[in-house]
Protein backbone atom coordinates (compact mmCIF):
# COMPACT_ATOMS: atom_id res chain seq x y z
CA UNK A 1 0.00 0.00 0.00
CA UNK A 2 1.40 3.35 -1.01
CA UNK A 3 1.40 6.29 1.41
CA UNK A 4 -0.40 9.48 0.62
CA UNK A 5 1.71 12.12 -1.04
CA UNK A 6 2.08 15.44 0.73
CA UNK A 7 1.40 18.67 -1.03
CA UNK A 8 4.43 20.86 -1.65
CA UNK A 9 5.85 22.81 1.28
CA UNK A 10 6.54 21.92 4.87
CA UNK A 11 3.93 20.45 7.20
CA UNK A 12 3.93 23.77 9.08
CA UNK A 13 3.06 25.65 5.88
CA UNK A 14 0.31 23.14 5.10
CA UNK A 15 -1.24 23.30 8.56
CA UNK A 16 -1.44 27.12 8.31
CA UNK A 17 -3.49 26.89 5.12
CA UNK A 18 -6.97 28.30 5.98
CA UNK A 19 -8.80 25.33 4.43
CA UNK A 20 -6.71 22.88 6.50
CA UNK A 21 -7.20 24.96 9.66
CA UNK A 22 -10.96 24.91 9.13
CA UNK A 23 -10.95 21.10 8.77
CA UNK A 24 -8.82 20.65 11.87
CA UNK A 25 -11.09 22.97 13.88
CA UNK A 26 -14.14 20.92 12.81
CA UNK A 27 -12.40 17.66 13.77
CA UNK A 28 -11.52 19.13 17.17
CA UNK A 29 -15.10 20.25 17.71
CA UNK A 30 -16.44 16.81 16.72
CA UNK A 31 -14.00 15.14 19.13
CA UNK A 32 -14.97 17.47 21.98
CA UNK A 33 -11.53 19.09 22.08
CA UNK A 34 -11.48 22.86 22.65
CA UNK A 35 -8.07 23.64 21.19
CA UNK A 36 -4.72 22.25 20.14
CA UNK A 37 -1.30 23.88 19.95
CA UNK A 38 1.16 23.03 17.20
CA UNK A 39 4.79 24.09 17.22
CA UNK A 40 6.08 24.85 13.74
CA UNK A 41 9.60 24.08 12.54
CA UNK A 42 10.61 27.72 13.14
CA UNK A 43 9.48 27.54 16.78
CA UNK A 44 6.18 29.41 16.42
CA UNK A 45 3.18 28.13 18.35
CA UNK A 46 -0.07 27.91 16.43
CA UNK A 47 -3.30 27.46 18.40
CA UNK A 48 -6.31 26.02 16.61
CA UNK A 49 -9.55 26.62 18.51
CA UNK A 50 -12.75 24.68 17.82
CA UNK A 51 -15.94 26.71 17.33
CA UNK A 52 -16.57 29.86 15.35
CA UNK A 53 -15.24 33.09 16.78
CA UNK A 54 -13.79 31.49 19.92
CA UNK A 55 -10.35 32.38 21.20
CA UNK A 56 -8.87 30.97 24.39
CA UNK A 57 -6.43 33.88 24.37
CA UNK A 58 -9.32 36.32 24.72
CA UNK A 59 -10.13 37.05 28.35
CA UNK A 60 -13.65 38.09 27.35
CA UNK A 61 -14.36 34.49 26.30
CA UNK A 62 -13.94 33.43 29.92
CA UNK A 63 -17.31 34.02 31.65
CA UNK A 64 -15.95 33.39 35.15
CA UNK A 65 -13.75 36.48 35.05
CA UNK A 66 -15.82 39.62 35.53
CA UNK A 67 -13.90 42.84 36.03
CA UNK A 68 -13.34 46.02 34.10
CA UNK A 69 -11.08 44.50 31.49
CA UNK A 70 -9.53 47.80 30.46
CA UNK A 71 -7.58 48.06 33.75
CA UNK A 72 -7.15 44.44 34.83
CA UNK A 73 -3.82 42.83 34.00
CA UNK A 74 -3.71 39.15 33.03
CA UNK A 75 -1.52 36.55 34.68
CA UNK A 76 -0.76 34.11 31.88
CA UNK A 77 0.33 30.48 31.89
CA UNK A 78 4.12 30.21 31.40
CA UNK A 79 3.74 26.74 29.83
CA UNK A 80 0.94 24.46 28.69
CA UNK A 81 -0.23 22.00 31.33
CA UNK A 82 -2.73 21.52 34.15
CA UNK A 83 -3.67 24.47 36.35
CA UNK A 84 -3.09 23.97 40.08
CA UNK A 85 -4.28 26.56 42.61
CA UNK A 86 -2.37 24.61 45.29
CA UNK A 87 1.26 23.44 45.13
CA UNK A 88 1.38 19.60 45.15
CA UNK A 89 3.43 19.68 48.39
CA UNK A 90 0.99 22.00 50.21
CA UNK A 91 -2.61 21.83 51.34
CA UNK A 92 -3.90 25.39 50.80
CA UNK A 93 -4.35 27.74 47.86
CA UNK A 94 -1.65 30.31 47.23
CA UNK A 95 -4.16 33.17 46.83
CA UNK A 96 -7.89 33.82 46.94
CA UNK A 97 -10.06 36.07 44.80
CA UNK A 98 -10.25 39.54 46.32
CA UNK A 99 -6.91 39.24 48.13
CA UNK A 100 -4.19 41.86 47.84
CA UNK A 101 -1.15 40.61 45.92
CA UNK A 102 2.36 41.99 45.52
CA UNK A 103 4.72 41.94 42.56
CA UNK A 104 6.40 38.57 42.00
CA UNK A 105 3.99 36.78 44.39
CA UNK A 106 3.11 33.20 43.40
CA UNK A 107 -0.66 32.78 43.05
CA UNK A 108 -0.92 29.37 41.37
CA UNK A 109 0.90 26.78 39.30
CA UNK A 110 0.89 25.00 35.96
CA UNK A 111 2.03 21.38 36.02
CA UNK A 112 3.17 19.24 33.12
CA UNK A 113 4.54 15.86 34.13
CA UNK A 114 6.92 16.36 37.06
CA UNK A 115 7.51 20.05 36.18
CA UNK A 116 5.59 22.61 38.27
CA UNK A 117 5.84 26.22 37.09
CA UNK A 118 4.62 29.15 39.24
CA UNK A 119 2.12 31.76 38.10
CA UNK A 120 3.58 35.08 39.31
CA UNK A 121 1.99 38.50 39.65
CA UNK A 122 3.77 41.19 37.62
CA UNK A 123 2.59 44.20 39.63
CA UNK A 124 0.86 44.79 42.96
CA UNK A 125 -2.92 44.88 43.06
CA UNK A 126 -5.97 42.82 43.92
CA UNK A 127 -6.73 39.33 42.59
CA UNK A 128 -9.95 39.86 40.66
CA UNK A 129 -10.71 36.50 39.15
CA UNK A 130 -9.65 33.04 38.12
CA UNK A 131 -11.40 31.61 35.10
CA UNK A 132 -9.77 28.18 35.15
CA UNK A 133 -10.99 25.18 37.13
CA UNK A 134 -8.39 23.30 39.21
CA UNK A 135 -6.81 20.55 37.11
CA UNK A 136 -8.03 22.03 33.81
CA UNK A 137 -5.66 22.17 30.85
CA UNK A 138 -4.25 25.56 29.96
CA UNK A 139 -2.22 26.53 26.94
CA UNK A 140 0.94 28.58 26.86
CA UNK A 141 -0.07 32.22 27.32
CA UNK A 142 -3.66 31.51 28.39
CA UNK A 143 -5.04 34.00 30.91
CA UNK A 144 -5.46 32.23 34.26
CA UNK A 145 -5.97 35.18 36.63
CA UNK A 146 -6.77 38.87 36.38
CA UNK A 147 -5.14 41.43 38.67
CA UNK A 148 -6.68 44.87 39.27
CA UNK A 149 -3.58 47.12 39.59
CA UNK A 150 -3.06 49.01 42.86
CA UNK A 151 -4.02 52.69 42.78
Question: Which of 25-29, 55-59, 89-93, 133-137 comes out lowest in average pLDDT?
Answer: 55-59
pLDDT above 90 as % of the chain: 33
Which of 68, 144, 151 minimizes the C-alpha distance to 106? 144
Mean pLDDT of 127-147: 90
Give CATH for domain 59-149.
Answer: 2.40.50.100
Q: Is the pLDDT of residue 78 over 50?
A: yes
> Between β-strands 106-112 and 137-138, what pairing exists: parallel, antiparallel or unpaired?
unpaired
Question: Which of 55-59, 84-88, 129-133 comes out lowest in average pLDDT?
Answer: 55-59
| pLDDT tens by residue, 5-60 | 445 555 556 666 677 767 777 777 777 777 676 666 656 666 666 554 444 344 33
Per-residue pLDDT at 28:
72
CA separation, residue 4 to residues 1, 7, 20, 26, 133 (Å) = 10, 10, 16, 22, 41
Question: Which of 22-26, 91-95, 121-125 comes out lowest in average pLDDT?
Answer: 22-26
Q: Where are the domains of the chain?
A: 11-49, 59-149
Contact 37, 15 (CB under 8 A): no
3-state secondary structure string across 54-107: CCCCCHHHCCCCCCCCCCCEEEECCCCEEEECCCCCCCCCCCCCCCEECCCCEE
Per-residue pLDDT at 91:
86
Amino acid sequence: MKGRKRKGGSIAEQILDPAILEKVALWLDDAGVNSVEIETEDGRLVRIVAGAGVSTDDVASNPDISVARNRAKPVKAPIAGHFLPVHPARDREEATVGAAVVADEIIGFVKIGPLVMPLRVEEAGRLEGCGIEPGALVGYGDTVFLIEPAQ
